[in-house]
Structure 1
Amino acid sequence: MKLVLFVLDEVFDTGMTVLLDTFATANELAAAQGIDIAPFEVKLVGTRRRVRTGLGLSAVVEPLSAVHRPDWVVVPALNAKTPERLEQTLLRKDVRSSLAHLQNWHAAGINIAAACTGTFVLAEAGLLNDRDATTTWSLAPFFRQRHPTVRLDDSRMVVESRGVVTAGAAMGHLDLALWLVRRATPELAEIVARFLLIDKRSSQAHYIIPDFLAHNDPLISKFERWARDNLSKGFSLADAAGALAVHSRTLQRRTEAVLGKTPLEFFQDLRIERARQLVSAGCNLEIVASEVGYADSATLRTLLRRKLGQGVRELRAGML
């Protein structure tokens, strides 16, 4: 498999190196199994001869002329962690000039992938329009605002949509790399995962901090505070809107626009988050269920397993 890592200036160090290390490890393990030809040919390519990483290191990259029809072009994340910084970064000359190259590769039938804030570059190039995608969960509200035609699901870790693949936050680069290894050879991917201690993570949902997302919008921030004060009660959109002095439809639309979910779904996320904290701390399950508004502990057990992929035993073991 021929891979091009399309690296822009101030690339996220870990994102770039995780990709390189995973493919290098796959090649080494393949050689140890007697495979003569390395399964992955990787080139570091950019619009400049040398790029700076986010931590100020320097990396020499090959020119675009070195690219001869790769199987995949992968865009590592930009080192921008806030909407303000990312918005400025996306306006940089090297980023804007990269869009045409991505469009041309895609038009030629070459597969394109990106992780974390690299997904914004694909979106800027129009490659995610009317496609399913994911991105770093912390910037999902900004992504929805900037690219409303993308069908974003920030709870997912890796999303493939018609030859374009996106992956989630920061260490989502690792999940993306393993996804690509698995596409070439599932058996090798299993060995690589064991050597690098890569867990199977199909979702970002376990890592999302709901109140962090809520603070992206004043109304949603107020709704979040109201919701936390009312977790033990049954949810009512009318009651929530009344307490915030807005129309129910206004709260519904704003929540969906900022968070990509309904007010009820966000309320349930907060319940699950609080339940996880209390269960992990060893609290009695019946008391936890009552505090977060569930009828009994059996219902809570089911929801924790479905939402987090972990049961009570795993949650408590994780705090030891």
Structure 2
Amino acid sequence: MDVAIVAMDGVADLGLTAVLETFALADRLRHRLVAPPSPWRVHTVSTGSSIQSGNGYTVPTVALGDLQFHSDAAAVPGVLIVPAVQIGDPQELIAHVSGVGSRPILDWIGRAHSAGVHIAGACAGTFFLAEAGVLDGLPATTSWWLGPAFRKRYTAVDLDESLTVCRTESVVTAGAYLAHVDLALSLIHTASPALAEKTARFLVTGSARAQADHIVPEVMAQGNSLLAGFEHWVRRNIGEQFRISTAAHELGITERSLQRITQAELGMSPKDFVHDIRIAHAAHLLRTTSLSLESIASRVGYLNAGTLRNLVRRRRGMSVAELRAIPNVW
């Protein structure tokens, strides 16, 4: 199978090499299987013969025009992958993706999708897929800190930035930088689940933890001054049982306005955002102190440990014991 990795000036070095190395390792491990899949032929492609990575390295590439999208063309790729570009500011990223310089890439993504090529993107690369329209009407994920900007611009996409990988029949999206590995493993899995599992073991990865475990609520809120104010207010009052209406009143807005803001920016209600802030702090206390669950629940504003336990299960999909046991291997 031919795999085309779309690189452009400023491509994130870690994202690009993560995809390249994961496919290369899978190819080296194929012969350890009783019934190995066919090898992958991986092409790094761009609008010219080379690009400059985000860290300034020159990467040789195949020109886009050398890979055609016709059913009878031998060089048509089975998978097209768009890794991240090294742009951290959401508005700068949107300006780049929607700019004239990105039009050849967007057109190429659209033509590939129309030709039945499987499309994949990770981190900031998902913005190119959305801008090209291939995510319209589909579920998708992206880097959790880019979620608010993505949701605001691409309203036709069903975004869930808590996911590490989101698969549909024709498109796969993945989250932040290291999720490029999960993206590549997901694509390998379509050809051989056994090879994907073996490759993951060699990489010491593939635990399928959700991005939700890593989301920092204050970063999610920083793009909107009212939302940031709400987040700061919750942290100042985190040990109290308060009403959302009280927070809205002290911020000088109506509860309905606060509801609209959190839904538009974060895709959740103010109440769920408060739960996420409290659970994030509870997780920190679970991992860094010997406090009892009852004491931690009280410190983050819940009347009893049972409430915290149920919310962790509902919001994080795990037990409190599993949350506490998540190790920092470094």
Secondary structure of the equivalent of 2:296?
helix
Which residue identity is paired with 1:180? Answer: L
After superposition, the Cα gap between the structure-2 partners of 1:245 and 1:168, relative to the gap in structure 1 and judged at 3 Å, is: same
Which residue identity is paired with 2:8? Answer: L
Give the aligned partner of residue 42 of structure 1: 42
Q: Are residues 1:149 and 2:156 paired?
A: yes
TM-score with structure 1 length normalisation?
0.93
Separation (CA, whole Å) in 2 of partners of 1:8 and 1:174: 19
66-75 vs 113-122, greater mean Cα deviation: 66-75
The CA RMSD measured in Å over matched residues stands at 2.0
Give the aligned partner of residue 309 of structure 2: 301
Q: Are residues 1:315 and 2:315 paired?
A: no
Q: Are residues 1:21 and 2:30 paired?
A: no
Give the aligned partner of residue 62 of structure 2: 62
Deviations 1:48-77 (A, max 9, x none): 111110000001111223322211111111
Which residue identity is paired with 1:31? Answer: H
> 1:152: Cα distance to partner?
0.8
Deviations 1:209-266 (A, max 9, x none): 0011111111001111111123233342221211111111111001111111110010
Separation (CA, whole Å) in 1 of partners of 2:34 and 2:228: 57
Secondary structure of the equivalent of 1:155?
coil
Q: Is the 8 A contact 1:281 1:319 kept in 2?
A: no
> 1:91: Cα distance to partner?
4.3
15-24 vs 295-304, greater mean Cα deviation: 295-304
Give the aligned partner of residue 195 of structure 1: 202
Which residue identity is paired with 1:139? Answer: L
Separation (CA, whole Å) in 2 of partners of 1:92 and 1:209: 30
After superposition, the Cα gap between the structure-2 partners of 1:39 and 1:313, relative to the gap in structure 1 and judged at 3 Å, is: same
Deviations 1:166-204 (A, max 9, x none): 110111101101101111101111110110011322520
Alignment partner of 2:243 out of 236, 240, 249: 236
262-271 vs 82-91, greater mean Cα deviation: 82-91
> 1:22: Cα distance to partner?
0.4
Which residue identity is paired with 1:229? Answer: R
Secondary structure of the equivalent of 1:198?
coil
Q: Are residues 1:3 and 2:11 paired?
A: no
Give the aligned partner of residue 256 of structure 2: 249
Unaligned runs of 5+ in 2: 68-74
> 1:306: Cα distance to partner?
4.5
> 1:319: Cα distance to partner?
6.0
> 1:33: Cα distance to partner?
4.2
Separation (CA, whole Å) in 2 of partners of 1:220 and 1:121: 27
Unaligned runs of 5+ in 1: none
Separation (CA, whole Å) in 2 of partners of 1:200 and 1:319: 14
Separation (CA, whole Å) in 2 of partners of 1:261 and 1:317: 25
Q: Is the 8 A contact 2:80 2:118 kept in 1?
A: yes
Which residue identity is paired with 1:191? Answer: K
> 1:139: Cα distance to partner?
1.0
> 1:161: Cα distance to partner?
2.9
Q: Is the 8 A contact 1:235 1:267 kept in 2?
A: no
Deviations 1:268-305 (A, max 9, x none): 00110110111112222211111112232243234334
Secondary structure of the equivalent of 2:231?
helix
Q: Report 1:204-219 matches (<5 A).
A: 204-219=211-226
Q: Is the 8 A contact 1:280 1:319 kept in 2?
A: no
Q: Are residues 1:74 and 2:81 paired?
A: yes
Which residue identity is paired with 1:295? Answer: L
Separation (CA, whole Å) in 2 of partners of 1:262 and 1:314: 23
Aligned residues: 320
> 1:313: Cα distance to partner?
6.2
Percent identity of equivalent pairs: 38
Alignment partner of 2:297 out of 267, 281, 289: 289
Q: Report 1:260-271 matches (<5 A).
A: 260-271=267-278
Which residue identity is paired with 2:163? Answer: R
